[in-house]
Amino acid sequence: MDMIRDVLMLSPVIVVWSGWMFGLSVIAPVVLLLFPGEWRDRIVVAAACVAVIVLMPLWHAQVGYVRLVALPHIVVWTPLAIYLYRRRKHFAAPWPVRWTVAALMATIVVSLGFDYVDLLRWLLGERAPLV
C-alpha cells in the first residue's frame, strides 16, 4: 500500500495538514542546524523528525491506513512535545529557530490530539480502513 496515495484520497484539509507536517518535519532540523544553539536540542529534534518520516510509511505498510496508523506519531512525538515544553526557556536562539520550534510544537500538539483520538477509536473497535 502506498501511504501518499492513501493520504491524497482524504479531504483536502487533511491533505494540506499532512503536507504541512511532512514539510515541517524536514525543515525544522535544517533550521536548527543552520543557527547556533544547543547541539542536544538539534539532535533530539532531528532524530524525532527523521524517525517519524521513516516510521510512518513503514507502519502504514504493515497495518494499512487504519486509525492505528497514528501510533508512530504518538510514540515519537509525545516525548518530543514533553522535551520541547521543558526546554522552551532554553531556546534563546535567533528568531528563525524560535519560530520553527514554536511551529513544530504547535503542529505536534494538534496532531497528537487527533492521534490519541484515533488510537482510542481503534482500541474501541474501529478497525476499518480510512480510505
Q: What is the pLDDT of residues 44-77, one digit of tens each?
A: 999 999 999 999 999 999 999 999 999 999 999 9
Instruction: Quote the pLDDT of residue 89.
Output: 79
Instruction: Quote the pLDDT of residue 23.
Output: 96
Q: What share of residues in the chain are helix, strand, coil (percent, to 5)?
A: 80, 0, 20
Sign, Cα dihedral of 56, 51, 102, 121: positive
| Whether the predicted pLDDT of 1 surpasses 80 | no
Instruction: Quote the pLDDT of residue 38.
Output: 81
Angle between helix 71-87 and 39-63 (nearest 10): 170
